[in-house]
Structure 1
Amino acid sequence: MAKHHSPAKLLNLNAIDQLRSGRLSRRVPQLLLGLIGYGAAVMALVQSGLGAASWNVLTEGIAHQTGLSFGWTTNLIAVVVLIAWIPLKEMPGLGTILNVCLVGLAADWTALFLPPAEGWIEKVVYFAVGMVMFAFFDALYLGAQLGAGPRDGIMTGLTRVTRQPVQRVRTCIEIIVAITGWLLGGTLGIGTVLIALCMGPLLSLFLPRTIVAINWSAKAAPRTKESE
Structure 2
Amino acid sequence: MTQIATAPRGLTDLGPIAQLRAGRLTRRLSQLYLGLVAYGVSLALMVRGDLGLAPWDVLHSGLIRHVPLTLGQAVVVMSFVVLIAWIPLRELPGIGTISNALVVGFSADATLAVLDRPDGLVLRIALMIGGVLLCGLASALYIGAQLGRGPRDGLMTGLARRTGRSLRLVRTGLELVVVVIGLVLGGTLGLGTVLYALAIGPLTQLWLPAFTVELSVRNREAIVLAPN
Aligned residues: 227
Q: Output the amino acid matched with 2:44.
A: M
Q: Output the amino acid matched with 1:173.
A: L
Contact 1:49–1:117, Cα closer than 8 Å, also in 2 = no
SS of alignment partner, residue 117 of structure 2: coil
Mapping of residues 96-175 of structure 1, within 5 Å: 96-162=97-163, 164-175=165-176
Contact 2:8–2:224, Cα closer than 8 Å, also in 1 = no
- Residues 101 and 144 from structure 1, CA distance in 2 versus in 1: closer, same or farther, beyond 3 angstroms? same
TM-score when normalising by structure 2: 0.91
Contact 2:7–2:224, Cα closer than 8 Å, also in 1 = no
Equivalent position of 2:95 in the other structure: 94
SS of alignment partner, residue 107 of structure 2: helix
Equivalent position of 1:48 in the other structure: 49
SS of alignment partner, residue 11 of structure 1: strand
Contact 1:48–1:123, Cα closer than 8 Å, also in 2 = yes
Q: Output the amino acid matched with 1:213.
A: E
Q: Output the amino acid matched with 2:103.
A: L
Q: Distance between the aligned counterparts of 1:46 and 1:59, measured in 2?
A: 11
Q: Distance between the aligned counterparts of 1:5 and 1:140, measured in 2?
A: 20
Contact 1:159–1:223, Cα closer than 8 Å, also in 2 = no
TM-score when normalising by structure 1: 0.91
SS of alignment partner, residue 216 of structure 1: strand
Report deviation, 1:170: 2.5
Specify every segment of 5 or more residues in structure 2 that has no aligned partner in the other structure, as ranges.
none
- Residues 155 and 209 from structure 1, CA distance in 2 versus in 1: closer, same or farther, beyond 3 angstroms? farther
Specify every segment of 5 or more residues in structure 1 that has no aligned partner in the other structure, as ranges.
none
Equivalent position of 2:13 in the other structure: 12
Matched, 1:64 2:74: no
User: Could you list the per-position Cα deviations for residues 83-119 of structure 1 after superposition, in whole angstroms to 9, with x for gaps in the alignment?
Assistant: 1222333221111111122111100000012111322
Contact 1:53–1:196, Cα closer than 8 Å, also in 2 = yes
Q: Output the amino acid matched with 1:227.
A: P
Q: Output the amino acid matched with 2:58.
A: V
CA RMSD of aligned residues (A): 1.9
Contact 2:18–2:221, Cα closer than 8 Å, also in 1 = no
Q: Output the amino acid matched with 2:201.
A: G
User: Could you list the per-position Cα deviations for residues 142-194 of structure 1 after superposition, in whole angstroms to 9, with x for gaps in the alignment?
Assistant: 11111122112223333444555544433322222111111111111121122
Q: Output the amino acid matched with 1:42.
A: L
Q: Distance between the aligned counterparts of 1:11 and 1:65, measured in 2?
A: 40
Contact 1:160–1:223, Cα closer than 8 Å, also in 2 = no
- Residues 202 and 191 from structure 1, CA distance in 2 versus in 1: closer, same or farther, beyond 3 angstroms? same
